[in-house]
Structure 1
């Protein structure tokens, strides 16, 4: 009897947490289909704000730029992160543990501090603001996610498979291509999805490093809210959240955190 009561309380508490997390998102998504620009009730279904958003060239340009930056970030971060993960898995070298520990602070450090530091650093070395700086900043933020995800997959990899392939005359490249990469592919896919999500949703670093008039979508939304909130923001925010949740769902679906048992 006592265990059933505790189970009921636990489920109720879980429901409350989910409501707390998702109720604001659901309200915003619902109001993006409300015909009233002032969120008046009763609710009247309309796709007017999505139609206006689709005709807004500024929003479309910012969305395209965000996607292109996210794709570039994904390719670079996935390639570098996968190579780093394989190197950490295969080789022992002085400072290896320190290097592994230093991968986590970029995840924990507030992005406001990271964005400020990157802005100062890029101006100091002559890069300044612009798309290259934004991509570099996003790659720096996405790399730890890729490395952690791929490393988690490698933790369950049997190194004797590589040794067996070499004993049969396979070259290093063949072993990597035919043995290692197929095994870690789910981790690589998950890491790339994380990298895309981190880049596409990134606001702080993009705000600091983007040139005026050449903003990413999150920066454009922030600017639009400062000028005056419109239901178009609800529409584009709903689309962003939907895409982000889909990407994160795919990432958790295809990743093997901690390896396989």
Structure 2
């Protein structure tokens, strides 16, 4: 009886936590389909705000810019992160453990601090603000996610497979392309999806590093909320959350934290 009560209590507690996390999102998504601009009830279903959103050139331009920046960030961070993960897996060198530990602080450090530090650094080296600075900043934030995800996949890799391929005459490039990469591909895909999600949703670093006329979608949403909230923000926010959740779920499906799929 005691164990049964604890099991039920645990499930209820879990449901309450999930409700606390997702209820605001569901309410926002529902209000994006409400015909009333002032959220009047009873609820009247309408796609009015999505139709208006489709004709808002400013939001669409910001969304396209965010997609392009996120795509560039994903390509760069995935390539660099995968190469770093393979190097950390294959080679032992002085300071390797310290380097692996230093991958985690960028994930834990508040993005406000990271954005301020990047802004000061980029101006000190002459890069300044703009799209290149935003991409570099996003890559710096996304790299740890890629390295951790790919490294987790590599942790279950049997180095004897590479040795067997070399013993059969395969060179280093062939071993990497035909043996190592196919094995770690789920981790690479998961890391790339994490990188895209981190970049696409990034607000703080984009706010600090983007030029006034080249704002990303999260920055534009923040600006629009300050000027006056409209249900179009609910619509675009619902789309962003849907994309982000889908990417994270797909990434979780592929990564499985280094385990078998």
TM-score relative to the length of structure 2: 0.99
- Say yes or no: does 1:164 pair with 2:164: yes
* Distance in 2 between residues matched to 1:159 and 1:87, nearest whole Å: 13
* Distance in 2 between residues matched to 1:41 and 1:83, nearest whole Å: 55
8 Å CA contact 1:70, 1:199 repeated in 2? yes
8 Å CA contact 2:187, 2:258 repeated in 1? no
Q: How far off its partner does 1:3 sit?
A: 0.8
What does residue 31 of structure 1 align with? 31
* Distance in 2 between residues matched to 1:212 and 1:175, nearest whole Å: 47
What's the secondary structure of 2:13's corresponding residue?
helix
Q: How far off its partner does 1:214 sit?
A: 1.0
* Distance in 2 between residues matched to 1:193 and 1:60, nearest whole Å: 22
What's the secondary structure of 2:256's corresponding residue?
coil
Q: Which runs of 4+ in 1 moved over 4 A?
A: none
* Distance in 2 between residues matched to 1:177 and 1:73, nearest whole Å: 23
* Distance in 1 between residues matched to 2:101 and 2:67, nearest whole Å: 31
What does residue 139 of structure 2 align with? 139
Q: How far off its partner does 1:258 sit?
A: 4.0
What's the secondary structure of 1:170's corresponding residue?
coil
Q: How far off its partner does 1:260 sit?
A: 4.1
* Distance in 2 between residues matched to 1:76 and 1:45, nearest whole Å: 42
8 Å CA contact 1:206, 1:216 repeated in 2? yes
What does residue 188 of structure 1 align with? 188
8 Å CA contact 1:190, 1:251 repeated in 2? yes
What does residue 46 of structure 2 align with? 46
* Distance in 2 between residues matched to 1:259 and 1:5, nearest whole Å: 33
What does residue 198 of structure 1 align with? 198
Residue-by-residue CA offset, 1:88-122 (whole Å, 9 max, x unaligned): 00000111011001100000000000000000000
What does residue 115 of structure 1 align with? 115
* Distance in 2 between residues matched to 1:214 and 1:258, nearest whole Å: 38
Matches within 5 A, 1:1-261: 1-260=1-260
Q: How far off its partner does 1:2 sit?
A: 1.0
Gaps of 5+ in 2: none
8 Å CA contact 1:155, 1:259 repeated in 2? no
Q: How far off its partner does 1:213 sit?
A: 1.7
What's the secondary structure of 1:119's corresponding residue?
helix
What's the secondary structure of 1:103's corresponding residue?
coil
Q: How far off its partner does 1:46 sit?
A: 0.5
8 Å CA contact 1:154, 1:259 repeated in 2? no
Q: How far off its partner does 1:196 sit?
A: 0.2
Gaps of 5+ in 1: none
* Distance in 1 between residues matched to 2:182 and 2:232, nearest whole Å: 43
Q: How far off its partner does 1:16 sit?
A: 0.2
RMSD, aligned α-carbons = 0.9
8 Å CA contact 1:73, 1:195 repeated in 2? yes
